[in-house]
Amino acid sequence: MYLKHYQDSITKLYQNKVRIDPDQIDYLLNKNYRSLLVLVPNLSYLSHYHLAKSNNSQTPDLHLWIEQKSRYTSIITLSHQFFAQDKIIKRPDIQIKVYFDVQLVEATSACDEQMINTQHPYLNHCDDRSLKWELNTLLEKWLDYCQSQQYQWLVDDER
């Protein structure tokens, strides 16, 4: 009985799903660009690896890797790192493409996945726009969280 109710609920959610239009995605990508630049104000000048610490000792460090860089774009990875059983766990580990010329930021993967909910029963019915929306909404929420933690980027001597 419960399984049938669950399946019916999922079916209703899918059938009543609001379609994501391109303007909504552009707005989100631009908002994420602005949020990222608040978090990392000199991003366009950075290269290699950088570390940020929060004043809150309970907040994990924020790690930034510049993977690729060109005049108009960069590919970066932002991550928190946790240590468990002698292993480093990166969560979330979000790869981001930054478009400096058009002021957009696009999350391209999270934890090496291009989609968040790989077990969704209607995954085959999701279009690229929905997947992009899901990934970039995750980025939006995480950037908001990171901003609230008041990270300070360390200079090379402080690392």
For position 130, what pLDDT does the model report? 72
pLDDT of residue 141 exceeding 80: yes
Q: Please state the rounded mean pLDDT for residues 132-150.
A: 92
DSSP letter string, 2-57: HHHHHHHHHHHHHHTPPPPPHHHHHHHHHHHHHHHHHHSTTGGG--SEEEEE-SST
Annotated domain spans of the chain: 2-158
Q: Which residues pair with 89 in a beta bridge?
A: 82
pLDDT of the residue at 121:
45
Q: Is pLDDT at 3 greater than 80 in this prediction?
A: no
Listed range (55-59, 99-103, 140-144, 147-151) with the worst mean pLDDT: 55-59
Q: Which of 60, 34, 39 is nearest to 152 (CA)?
A: 39
Do 110 and 131 touch, CB atoms closer than 8 A? no
Structure tokens at 158: 């402080």
| Cα gap 72→9, rounded to integer Å | 44
Q: Identify the burial level of 97 via C-beta atoms within 10 angstroms of its C-beta, where 0-12 means exposed, 13-18 middle and 19 or more buried.
A: middle
- Residue 118, judged by CB atoms within 10 A of its CB (0-12, 13-18, 19+), counts as exposed
Over residues 21-57, the pLDDT tens digits come to 889 999 999 999 999 999 999 999 999 999 999 988 8
The mean pLDDT value of the chain amounts to: 81
pLDDT at 85: 82
Q: What is the pLDDT of residues 60-89, one digit of tens each?
A: 999 999 999 999 999 999 998 877 788 877
What is residue 83's predicted lDDT score, i.e. its pLDDT? 77
82-109 confidence digits (pLDDT tens): 777 888 777 788 999 999 999 999 999 8
The end-to-end CA distance of the chain, in Å, is: 57
CB 107 within 8 A of CB 94: yes
